[in-house]
Chains A and B, each alone.
Chain A
Amino acid sequence: MEIILSIVLIFMIIGALFALHARDLLSALISCGIVGYGLVICFLLLKAPDLAIVQIVVETITLIIMIAVVLDSTRHELKKTAIERKWKSLINSKALVNVLITVIIGIVLLYSFRLAITHLNPFGEHTLRMSEAYLYGGADKTGSANLVTGILFDFRGYDTFGEATILFTAAIGVLTVLRIKGRK
Chain B
Amino acid sequence: MSAEITDAMTSESDIVSIVDLRVTFATDGGAVRAVDGVSIAVRPREIVAIVGESGSGKSVTAKSILGLVPSTATSSGSILLRSRDRSRTTDIVDASQNALRSLRGEDVAMVFQEPSTALNPVYTVGWQIAEGIRAHGSVSRKDAKKQAIDILRRVGIPDPETRVNYYPHQFSGGQKQRVVIAMALVLNPGLIVADEPTTALDVTVQAEILDLLRRLRDEFDTAIVLITHNMGVVADLADRVVVMYQGKVVEEADARTLFSSPQADYTKQLLAAVPHIGQGEARAAVRTQERLERDSSTTPVVVARDLVIEYPGRLGRGGFRAVNGVSFEIKEGEVLGLVGESGSGKTTIGRAIAGLSKVTGGSLSVLGREMLGIRERAFRSARVDIGFVFQDPASSFNPLLTIADCVAEPLVVHGRAADSRDARAQVDELLEAVQLPKAFGDRYPHELSGGQRQRASLARSIALRPKLLIADEPTSALDVSVQARVLELFTELQREFGFASLFISHDLAVVDLLADRIAVLYKGELVEEGTGAEVLGAPQHPYTQRLLASLPVPDPIDQQARREALHRLQAVDG
Chain A partners chain B:
no
- B residues sitting closer than 8 Å to A (CB atoms) are none
